Structure 1
Amino acid sequence: MARDDDNKRNFALRDATGQESSVFSGRTPRQAALKAARRLDPGKTEQQAQHHELRLREKGTKKVHIYDGWAWKESAPDDKPGWMPGEITEANVSKKGIEHLEEI
């Protein structure tokens, strides 16, 4: 469901035990998941990248958005700015579903 406002929302990255280690912001859960995926250990190519489950709890709610995420290294574009390194980390995610927590 799309929101009418342009406010960013905060999503806490949860591990298997339910501990929340990092917070990522974005207008949509996917945007936050892409930010989290870029921090994964990148593979050499997209096909060789290892998939990881990302569980993001939307702050202020009991919803946990579940994604498969992967990252890989790629050459920077030719017209890159001077401060950008020659190799960048790209990422992608695929939504698996939403889980509702009993308690926060």
Structure 2
Amino acid sequence: MVREDGKRNFALRDENGDEEHEYSGNTPRQAALKAARRLEPASSEDDADRIELRLREKGTDKVHIYDGWAWRSSAPDNKPDWMPETITEANVSKKGIEHLEE
């Protein structure tokens, strides 16, 4: 379901189908990136483990499936004063879409 501001809500599902966290974004990828940034970060992108993220679009039976990973990196040189020296970056790769039969 699309909100007035164009964003959609996605619930992060665990292995049991429980939905504890909700992320919003204009696209499923945007919500998946938000979820991936909350993974335990590795020391570099090459060392990061890929974790399967299953995001159900609220109001539909679609589950968007991504591989997500996160890593620590140095903040850019032109960072604002409030930003820490190391930041968490993330990336996702779409695996597909499933439809729930519940």
- Scaled to the shorter chain, the TM-score interval is over 0.9
1:50 aligns with 2:46: no
Q: Which amino acid aligns with 2:80?
A: P
Q: Could you list the per-position Cα deviations for residues 36-87 of structure 1 after superposition, in whole angstroms to 9, with x for gaps in the alignment?
A: 0000000000000011000000000000000000000000001100100000
- Aligned-pair identity (%): 74
Counterpart of 1:100?
99
Cα distance between partner residues in 2 of 1:6 and 1:31: 15
Map of 2:8 onto structure 1: 9
Moved >2 Å (runs of 4+): none
Q: Distance in 2 between matches of 1:78 and 1:60?
A: 42
User: How far does residue 6 in structure 1 lie from its aligned partner after superposition?
Assistant: 5.8
TM-score by length of 2: 0.95
Task: Please state whether the residue corresponding to 2:38 is helix, strand or coil.
Answer: coil
User: d(CA) in 1 for partners of 2:50 and 2:38?
Assistant: 13
C-alpha separation in 2, matches of 1:80 and 1:70: 23
Distance 2:53 2:18 in 1: 13
RMSD: 1.3
Structure 1 residue ranges without an equivalent (≥5): none
- TM-score normalised to structure 1 length: 0.93
1:31 maps to what in 2?
Answer: 30
- C-alpha displacement at 1:21, in angstroms? 1.0
